[in-house]
């Protein structure tokens, strides 16, 4: 029996590179499991066919890692969903959880004052950043979960800048940092998605300066969250 699933993870880099990265992840994670898989890109998302005794186990693993694309009729209130920021507008942030939902400015008050665009800039939010959200009863709007907001504040209130890099793998980001001589300026690069990473700067490292430097050789979307305890 073949099991087919659609993942939420958006494909916004070249399909060949995205599939290569996905296969590398799957081959590493599925090593000892009884499963074979095939992956294609449809409508800018991964469509995966799984076959074998461990197909369901692998499907759940992929959902945890890359999210499931939900439809409106599948949504339950008081449940958190993995999503990706789709677009940042002056008055709202659009998040995709399988379909697009707006997060209005009045739902962002826990992140401080300002318009949605100003708050997004303050916290380094950029398109395709993975997030967790809850959905309103009407299934017409969403809000960031308390856990997501707490995580952002825990990062914001440190003495280190963080750089969100979307559109590159962790190894590509690390290679760019090394090539530009910034290996000693950062604590490391954390993977938060297939092609989404966070660079954790050291206390005296200027995040915007790193973006200016590696942006010349790493054509990715980047956002900076500047630590406030400097």
Considering the domain boundaries, does residue 153 fall inside one?
no
- Give residue-wise pLDDT tens across range 52-75: 999 999 999 999 999 999 999 999
Considering the domain boundaries, does residue 55 fall inside one?
yes
Domain boundary residue, one of 115, 145, 175? 145
Total structural domains in the chain? 3
Same domain, 108 and 59: no
Same domain, 46 and 104: no
Residue 230 has pLDDT above 70, yes or no: no
Burial class (CB in 10 A: 0-12, 13-18, 19+), 124: buried
Domain boundary residue, one of 66, 101, 118? 66
Same domain, 76 and 139: yes
Considering the domain boundaries, does residue 139 fall inside one?
yes
Considering the domain boundaries, does residue 154 fall inside one?
no
Considering the domain boundaries, does residue 14 fall inside one?
yes
pLDDT score of 219: 84
Burial class (CB in 10 A: 0-12, 13-18, 19+), 43: exposed
Calpha distance 124→60 (Å, rounded): 30
Calpha distance 47→210 (Å, rounded): 35
Considering the domain boundaries, does residue 150 fall inside one?
no
- Give residue-wise pLDDT tens across range 171-207: 999 999 999 999 999 999 999 999 999 999 999 999 9
CATH number, domain containing residue 188: 3.30.70
Same domain, 57 and 92: no
Q: Are strands 142-144 and 92-96 parallel, antiparallel or unpaired?
A: unpaired
Please calculate the CA angle 135-136-140 and round it to the nearest 5 degrees: 90
pTM for the predicted model, two decimal places: 0.93
CATH number, domain containing residue 128: 2.40.50.140
Which range of residues forms the domain containing residue 34?
A: 2-66
Other C-beta atoms lying within 10 Å of the C-beta of residue 230:
11
Considering the domain boundaries, does residue 156 fall inside one?
no
């Amino acid at each position: 029996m073949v099991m087919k699933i659609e993942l939420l993870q958006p494909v916004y880099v070249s399909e060949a590179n995205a599939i290569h990265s996905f296969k590398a992840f799957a081959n590493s994670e599925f090593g000892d499991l009884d499963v074979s898989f095939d992956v294609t890109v449809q409508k800018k998302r991964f469509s995966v066919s799984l076959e074998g005794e461990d197909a369901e186990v692998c499907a759940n693993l992929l959902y945890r890692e890359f999210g499931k694309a939900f439809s409106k009729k599948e949504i339950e209130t008081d449940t958190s969903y993995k999503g990706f920021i789709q677009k940042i507008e002056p008055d709202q942030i659009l998040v995709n959880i399988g379909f697009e939902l707006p997060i209005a400015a009045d739902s962002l008050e826990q992140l401080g004052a300002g318009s949605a665009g100003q708050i997004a800039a303050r916290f380094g939010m950029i398109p395709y950043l993975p997030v967790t959200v809850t959905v309103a009863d009407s299934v017409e709007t969403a809000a960031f979960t308390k856990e997501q907001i707490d995580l952002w504040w825990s990062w914001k209130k440190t003495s280190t800048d963080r750089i969100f890099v979307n559109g590159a793998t962790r190894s590509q980001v690390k290679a760019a940092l090394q090539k530009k001589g910034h290996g000693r300026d950062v604590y490391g690069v954390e993977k938060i998605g297939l092609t989404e990473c966070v660079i954790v700067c050291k206390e005296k490292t200027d995040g915007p300066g790193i973006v200016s430097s590696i942006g010349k050789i790493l054509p990715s979307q980047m956002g900076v969250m500047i630590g406030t305890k400097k």
